[in-house]
Structure 1
Amino acid sequence: MELNTRDFLMKALLNEQELVRDYQKFSQTTEDAEVAQIFKEYATTDALRANRIKEILQNKYGVDQDLQN
């Protein structure tokens, strides 16, 4: 099954949002302060990427229904 651009962006958004949640959770549960900081940075980077994908979906495809951050 081949995804069109809109569908791929929707999938990418969900993936990025999941990564943000995972990195945030891992940063709070690890006992290693250095790793926790790295995970926080990853969460921030992925959140920025998710927001950019969300903007593209809204601006190019009019997708606005309940897109989560």
Structure 2
Amino acid sequence: MAGHNTAAVITKLTVQRASRDSILLMHDIHLWTVDAAAPTIDALQKQGYTLVTVIQLLGSTKPGKLYPAA
């Protein structure tokens, strides 16, 4: 992902590609992703998106189980 490792680029791409029912997965092992989290959330909320957690979306989950109907 060369050239994509800045918070500004991650935020821009995520906001551009978000759509209804999108699930965003942001790995906290990358500093630029951590730095992009707050501005991404702010930008999506300004566009009218409602953000929920996985538990809010699916209820209680179990490791290793698939949830294809989600």
- The answer, yes or no, to whether TM exceeds 0.5 is no
Give the number of the structure whose residues are more often helix, by fraction: 1
Relative CO higher for 1 or 2, CA cutoff 8 Å, sep ≥ 6? 1
Query: Which of the two has higher C-alpha Rg?
Result: 1
TM-score normalized by structure 2? Answer: 0.31
